[in-house]
A and B are shown apart, each in its own frame.
Chain A
Amino acid sequence: MRRATLSAMLSHWLRHPLQLGSLLLGLALATALWSGVQAINAEARASYARAAQMLGQDRFAQLVPRDGQRFDQSVFVALRRAGWQVSPVLEGALQTDGQQLRVLGLDPLSAPAGSAPQTVTGRGDLPGFLTPPGQGYAAPQTVRALAGQPGLPRLIASDDVLPGLLITDIGIAQGLLEASGQVSRLILAPEQPRRRAPLAAIAPGLTQRPPQARADIAALTDSFHLNLTAFGLLSFAVGLFIVHGAIGLAFEQRRPMFRTLRALGVPLRSLIGLLMAEVLILALIAGLAGVALGYGIAAALLPDVAATLRGLYGAALPGTLSLRPAWWAGGLGIAVIGAGAAAGQSLWRLAHLPPLAPAQPRAWARASARGLWRQGAAALGLGLAAFGLAVFGSGLVAGFALLGALLLAAALALPGILALGLGVAERAAKGVLAQWFWADTRQQLPGLSLALMALLLALAANIGVGTMVSSFRLTFLGWLDQRLVAELYVTARDEEEAARLRQWLAPRVEAVLPVWSIEAPVAGAPAQIYGVADHATYRDHWPLLDALPGVWDRLAAGEAVLINEQMARRAGLGPGDALTLPGANGALIVAGVYSDYGNPHGEALLGQGLFTTLYPQAPRLRHALRLPPEEAPALARALVREFGLPAGNIRDQAAIKAVSVQVFDRTFTVTAALNVLTLGVAGLAMLTSLLTLAGMRLPQLAPVWALGLTRAHLARLELLRALMLAALTMVLAVPVGLLLAWALLAVVNVAAFGWRLPMFTFPADWLRLGALALLAGGLAALWPALRLARMAPADLLKVFAHER
């Protein structure tokens, strides 16, 4: 009995291979998008973990040279002999045949535990490591790339070393980098002896840098990953709508069969069990295909992600993907859960419909019409929940819940709104044909609504994520502009040179602005305090979020302080509040709050006069130079010539900006590719829905044809209908997408990183997207329309002959 039931059920798929295909494709694509994004994220995070293990990335405090130059290793010995537990590191770039290699030399005997990747320290022989030619640990692909190069230590492949990096003994590194007796920096061991000479007495040229929990820029890469995760979630939601549509349709179409089977005595329980088994098998097949597809997507996009992160982080991500069991399993799991969720409604309906309920497709439409009210109510409830989350929620989970509620509410509300709109149009329509067109569109709506929901979500996701990424880019570039207003930045190596620099520069540039800072606790947390000159550079460019009137005059008068958004949020400060700085006698007024993206630490800005009074000990080495941009390169060269300043001490604004723009345009490549994919999935959903409906709609079309409308005319109307629905959906998608962007920027980002990104809108992008939506809708409708146009009249005539 069970076998007969199963074969009866499966025969449906044999008769509707297209439906089966759309179900599998939808689920596979949803899984693919999800797992592809997960794979990219997982790969990138794994690389961060490796990067964090690298020397100097974060874990240890370090002694670094004030002038940024290498120094003699006798300083290391002097510090050791004064009780400082330090370990020398030499770093440098080595131009090998064809590629640049970063060489990291360390001393394994003095290096604190955990300061080098595990495979470097956990195996191998010390004598071989220390004794020339030594050993060099590098990533497997780097080892392959370097194979056969002369003059290198013996290469050993290690998965824990970042690509492009060679870790070797400091003595070997000194030879490779031709830096005999030179050291770049010193790692400070966490445990120090109880008696030590003061640092200034032993090594005045070095300054202590505290361990950095994460590099500043890491906050930005985190944000990037969050974006990708959100995108993966949206893509999956779109895919689920397709699956839901396909499964729902399959249930409805098989309703006569279910009725017959129930009438023949198949128990409801075993029918549902078999259907669940069917869904599970389909989900597993589609899930496997989806994970494989996701791997392909990730592998195709990863080089771009890697390039983006290399630009952001300075550390290389392997351009290749490794298969991680976690996302294989995750992808399959999400496919099964998604299919289950999509089938749940249908199963529930099957369980609750009377066994002999009428089994015409029209019944589905009527049931759906009733369901429209339920959907509308659910949409309203979810909308209210989203509103409540936006107003009262806090934290990342609430942020994501808000996103989910928002999207689901919009999707559920769509059929109702469309039905209302079509009803209005129908009543306003003049003429029989127009009235039929609107009525017929409304009749089709239930069958198309899931595909339209998918389209809505895809479009909204496109608008939302596109708006967010573009805002992100603009903001970041704006932040760079704020930080890099001056054309050149010059750091002197000592106070005496700084004074000579100022004197030499004064007649040559428009302005020499000091950029002096000191690290001190403000409002109970470590912060950087800057002294800035009263200059148009700041008055015109500094991006204030909120400020008192006359903020720059107050700052110059030394009665006020500016703080960054991070400090403002953390300490609950705003314009007009009082803030006492370390060393100050009285409180200053917070005159303004400025945005400071990507900086995890607090920051305060003082007038230069007050700064030098409060902190006379602060090093006065950094200067920003204002001059006509075209003269900057010549001045930079002159500085090198006159003062012998190392290249790292002179920063050219234009070059930094160019690199940053490049980085963000790569980010765009990734999101643009995902956008197109999601839209493609939505288009596919429409195509499959229209194809399915085409077969079911013959009884409705045949009478119209019989009344004299040509097949071509009917086909044109079909196409027009699809385009109109796509356009309507697009119009509705704009506010949903903007809400989504707002939630991402103002809720999720704040919860995750503590700063809010301002939102910029890009109407031109919407137009382009609208055109794409029409194209997708049109393409989806084209095939069914063509089929209709070329349908043999006999097929249409059969409608009148068949008993349905």
Chain B
Amino acid sequence: MNVKALILWLLLAAPLWAQGFAGLGGGAEGFATPSPGTVLEFPADHGPHPDFRIEWWYLTANLRGADGRDYGVQWTLFRTALAPGEAEGWQSPQLWMGHAALTTPERHFVAERLARGGVGQAGAQAAPFEVWVDEWRMAGPDVSEIALTANGADFGYDLNLSADGPLIPQGAGGYSVKSAGGQASHYYSQPFYRVAGTLHLPEGSVSVSGQGWLDREWSSQPLEATQEGWDWISLHLDEGAKLMGFQLRQSDGTTYTSGTWIGADGRAEPFGDGALRMTPVERAAVAGRDLPVGWRVELPGRGLDVTLRALNPESWMDTLFPYWEGPVRVGGSHPGRGYLEMTGY
């Protein structure tokens, strides 16, 4: 039992993730709620939205090293508010949680940072764009050119990301519906990063290059009480197109699916519940749980039928709030690579 158990309690009570915890879809008194008519405004929306209860800056990258090996990198900063709004100093109701991971075919490194807002230890600002917790930073002049750094006890990375495509609003103009009941979040992505940089591993440093994907999402009440967890994918297909998709698993065994097909030219085509089919094809025992680490993903409207295989099935995020997140190889009708996230197992 430690200090962090307190936070666990808090995070369980705050609907950051769907974890099969009854009452997650509870009230959000005082917090702003996403509304369908909202028009995203940049660069302001790259910054924080303290009136909403939760928010994240979520970056994943599929990389190949100069040594010919595949790597994956994750950098996430979560914001969660005890109360709406911002205040100076320790009185700030904003709490921050950073997750960093580096995945190799054999190993999966994880680090986690917790911080309070108001004193400068962690925060986010739109322009010039910077999101940080401790020495971890995602910063650029703006979102199209960013430097990314994170460290753990036994790993670290320094990457430069440069976008060669537009920002992609998810759902209807950035209003992403999460349930049949209408729960939603504001959600946009930058899936067109070219990435170059260095990974620091216990054995030494490796130069890498590859593709990156940034997700920005904020809400106050994103999930139904009956939703137990989600499976989320972001795929870079070799032909240049991208696919974002997720399914929310409901307690009655049904799922709610959604996603966006992003053409190589940056044209986004959202699709609603039922269009995407995700079926587990391979399971593995990871961290004492039974997890689907191989998936069949079908999007009949696009003639897509691919199989996802984890680069490292042990990509378990052993954080305060554990989940699975790691790079995948994509085979089948549209080969490529991407990231898979699974919560609530």
Q: How far is the CA of A81 from the CA of B121 in the complex (A)?
A: 7
| Beta-carbon contact of A195 and B7 below 8 Å | no
Given A109-B95, A131-B82, the answer on whether A195 and B6 have CB atoms closer than 8 Å is no
Name B135's contact: one of A73, A80, A111, A127 (CB within 8 Å).
A80
Residue B180 CB within 8 A of the other chain: no
| Beta-carbon contact of A194 and B156 below 8 Å | yes
| Beta-carbon contact of B91 and A132 below 8 Å | yes
Across-interface contacts of A110 in B (CB, < 8 A): 114-116, 121
Tell me the minimal C-beta distance from B158 to chain A in angstroms: 9
- Chain B interface helix/strand/loop/mixed: mixed
Per-residue CB contact flags for chain A residues 126-153 toward chain B (1 = under 8 Å, else 0) read 1101111000000000000000000000
Per-residue CB contact flags for chain B residues 108-126 toward chain A (1 = under 8 Å, else 0) read 0001001110011100000
Residue A118 CB within 8 A of the other chain: yes
Across-interface contacts of B93 in A (CB, < 8 A): 130-131
Q: How far is the CA of A475 from the CA of B134 in the complex (A)?
A: 50
| Beta-carbon contact of A114 and B2 below 8 Å | yes
Across-interface contacts of A191 in B (CB, < 8 A): 153
- Which residues 623-653 of A sit at the B interface, judged by CB distance below 8 A? none
- Which residues 148-182 of B sit at the A interface, judged by CB distance below 8 A? 151-156
- Which residues 166-182 of A sit at the B interface, judged by CB distance below 8 A? 169-172, 174, 180-181
With CB as the reference atom, state the residue of chain A lying closest to B201: A194
| Beta-carbon contact of A109 and B116 below 8 Å | yes
Residue A507 CB within 8 A of the other chain: no
Residue A192 CB within 8 A of the other chain: yes
Q: Which of B1, B95, B152, B156 has the most CB of A within 10 A?
A: B1
Across-interface contacts of B91 in A (CB, < 8 A): 131-132, 171
With CB as the reference atom, state the residue of chain B lying closest to A74: B120
Given A126-B10, A130-B116, A180-B89, the answer on whether A121 and B2 have CB atoms closer than 8 Å is yes
| Beta-carbon contact of A83 and B135 below 8 Å | yes
Given A74-B120, A80-B115, A109-B116, the answer on whether A193 and B6 have CB atoms closer than 8 Å is no
Across-interface contacts of A112 in B (CB, < 8 A): 3
Tell me the minimal C-beta distance from B24 to chain A in angstroms: 17
| Beta-carbon contact of A130 and B135 below 8 Å | no
Q: Which of A74, A126, A131 has the most CB of B within 10 A?
A: A126
Across-interface contacts of B5 in A (CB, < 8 A): 121-122
Tell me the minimal C-beta distance from A686 to chain B in angstroms: 57
Q: How far is the CA of A122 from the CA of B91 in the complex (A)?
A: 22
Q: How far is the CA of A85 from the CA of B276 in the complex (A)?
A: 43
- Chain A interface helix/strand/loop/mixed: loop
**How many pairs of A and B residues are in contact by the CB < 8 Å rule?**
102
Per-residue CB contact flags for chain A residues 98-133 toward chain B (1 = under 8 Å, else 0) read 000000000111111111101001101111011110
Given A169-B90, A170-B90, A193-B153, the answer on whether A80 and B82 have CB atoms closer than 8 Å is no
Name A109's contact: one of B1, B111, B115 (CB within 8 Å).
B115
Given A115-B3, A116-B3, A121-B5, the answer on whether A193 and B111 have CB atoms closer than 8 Å is yes
Residue B200 CB within 8 A of the other chain: yes
Tell me the minimal C-beta distance from B6 to chain A in angstroms: 4
Residue B289 CB within 8 A of the other chain: no
| Beta-carbon contact of A83 and B151 below 8 Å | yes
Per-residue CB contact flags for chain B residues 133-156 toward chain A (1 = under 8 Å, else 0) read 011000000000000000111111
Tell me the minimal C-beta distance from A740 to chain B in angstroms: 47
Q: How far is the CA of A169 from the CA of B155 in the complex (A)?
A: 32
Residue B32 CB within 8 A of the other chain: no
| Beta-carbon contact of A113 and B3 below 8 Å | yes
Across-interface contacts of A485 in B (CB, < 8 A): none
Residue A282 CB within 8 A of the other chain: no
With CB as the reference atom, state the residue of chain A lying closest to B149: A195
Q: Could you name 12 residue pairs across A and B whose Cβ atoms are closer than 8 Å?
A: A80-B121, A81-B132, A83-B135, A109-B95, A110-B114, A110-B116, A110-B121, A113-B4, A121-B2, A124-B6, A125-B10, A180-B89
- Of all A-B residue pairs in the complex, the 9 with the closest CB atoms, nearest first, are A171-B90, A113-B2, A193-B151, A83-B135, A77-B120, A109-B114, A126-B6, A122-B1, A80-B134
